[in-house]
Structure 1
Amino acid sequence: MLRRQADADRAVRQPIRSPGRPPPRREVERAFWVQIADGLTSEDAAVAVGVSAPVGTRWFRHAGGMPPLDLAPAAGRYLCFAEREEIALLHVQNVGVREIARRLGRDPGTVSRELRRNAATRAGEVEYRASVAQWKAESAAKRPKQAKLVTNTALRDYVQQRLEGSVSLPDRTVVQGPDAPRWKGRNKPHREDRQWVTGWSPEQISHRLKVDFPDDGAMRISHEAIYQSLFIQGRGALKRELVTCLRTGRALRKPRRRSRNKPQGHVTDDVVISERPAEAADRAVPGHWEGDLIIGTHQSAIGTLVERKSRSVLLVHLPRLAGYGQQPRVKNGPALAGHGATAMADALTRAITDLPQQLRKTLTWDRGKELAEHARFAFETGTTVFFADPHSPWQRPTNENTNGLLRQYFPKGTDLSRWGADDLAAVAYTLNNRPRKVLNWKTPAEVFTEQLPSAQEPGVATTD
């Protein structure tokens, strides 16, 4: 009877290929994409969920860098993997179907169909295994749907023309542009010509369709659907090479958090801004500084340091080093302009060691290579250095605001090497004795003096 019922179930369902070794469960892949959203690389995310690094790389590339839409968790009406494991354990103990259903809180018919339809049938024997049953259930639940750009030729042609259309003059004379290298399936070529195309963004295309076809509901598509057709392998709607027509030119989508807080080069995991103590963020405790360079012509620069609580300013003199301008520049040669990594660390050390230790706790800098020797600077001064996220000037707001004030004295496009240490000290003194609204009309020098213990008041000379 059981054999006939199994044959009947097999006759009404579509043939399913043999899984061989069942792939990782969808819960594992779902957890993988959660790790990707947190900023991990595909290799690290794969290891975190218990699969090999090549598997994670393959998942990321095949999905175009975005989580597949069909990874959404199944509704509660369907059996989950944990329930299938429980069914397998009870079934091998010869527990009856109704008793299994009672323990799971399911209908007996649900358990009975599960044991018949999703059992492993290798070697002609019926044996229920939770992993194989989960794979069969997920395969049978798939409802593949063709992309809209596959079925609607007119819409596909419109989108493709706006992406890779030719650049032309008003009289429609085509301008070919440079000869671009052949696309190799990776990101845009580095420091090489790119093909000149119309280059509309998917969002521009999506919204323009409503203007060009106001009465044609079939000529509608979201920008996300266009991105998926470009990045996801197997959609079959748009050619993969069209990703070169996008502004970024990247072959895979890049998760937002992957570009944030990411260690790179001289910036390691322990010095990113997320590791900075909370007391530095709320400005409640003095001694936390922000720093940067203001750049002038002829590779001239001035270092700027601002204390977050009092807004006190220190300007760091960065004189030219011996030999600057006397010999042609050499690639990867010594930095003689005055703000190389070694010179910068030395200058900052001289500037900040005049302060009491309790007023030089941390320094937040941008991702510039000029502070590549931050470890030596931290060792010599006791000031811990943290680096802001790339392209995130709002994480150093006090310094950015102060640099804007300093441009009144050191405009862009001027040679900053003209000014000596005394000149910078005079400008810093002027700013530190200018009342500030944010300080309730006190001056930064006054607030800075209040922060010093009474026994160390002479140290105020650096800001007064």
Structure 2
Amino acid sequence: MGQLTAEDRGFIEAALLQNMSVSKIALHLNRHRSTIYREIKRNTMKQGRDSWLGPMPYQATSASNLTSMRRRETRSKKKTTPQLLKKITYYLQLKFSPEQIAFGVKGIPVCTNTIYNWIYNGVLEFDIKGLRRRGRRYKRKLVHKKEAQFKRPEKKWFEDHSIANRSVAANHRLEFGHWEADSVLSVRHSTTALATFVERRTRRYKTYKMAKKTSHNMYKAMCQLLKDHPGAVKSITCDRGSEFINQGYVGLIESKGTKIYLANAYSPQERGCNENHNGLLREYYPKGTDFSKVDQQELNQAVESINNRPRKTLNWKSAQLVFHKELRKATLI
């Protein structure tokens, strides 16, 4: 196997948060457990000796950065020779730019950035002000922080989790335990959001507060749903928002026996039941509501009111009543 990927490190971070053993992580990633032990030990940021915070948790982004830094240092040490430094300095004094030296001079085995770094770090005895534009680099197009941190899965991953793979029984509401999920945003200046779930057959609705609409918080909400209804969550169908398509968290949920399906892009009708119930919730909390000022208990009361309404589609029975009836039947099987 090759080096660990960003996806692998994302899974390790998520798994460690759930106290998954190193052996299970290695089995899931098809790696030797020594590889995982070494990855965690070498790429976990450490606090100072006198820090009272204790050891920091493993973080995928930090691990990737530490690995890249280590590789750069190794490469730099191997490439630096007195002859090479003398040659680069000679051309710098001739007013060649680092880019012209890297690409236009034969026998230069380093890239433009390496030459700049050697100048900045004092490896090359050359005054930075002697460079063209006095060493100021050309500005590059900035990548949005969210885009830099989040990497969308490959097309094959989406195909494997497509709603097209959902069973006929789930599609036609013939089987209990298939849910739809969504997130409801707060007022613009607030980061607080809601994770909402509805069971397709019985229309029972559940909501959980999230401090922020992130994949980690959505994962915790799904775990809470599984904890509140053990054995009653066979699948969850979501849209393709970033909070639902973190491969590490999806893998953890599916390892608990719950399949994740993704609706097609721009197809809210494929999760129409959830969309409808979010509309019912807006009767209590109109758009513009700051959910940071609404506690979970108050939210539960609104949801309970929705679940206790008689429904025409349920022969005028409530979702609460039908859900518990189906739950008892499932328990007896």
TM-score, L = length of structure 2? 0.50
Kindly indicate whether structure 1 or structure 2 has the higher relative contact order, using CA contacts under 8 Å at least 6 residues apart: 2
**Going by fraction, where is helix more abundant, 1 or 2?**
2
TM-score, L = length of structure 1? 0.36
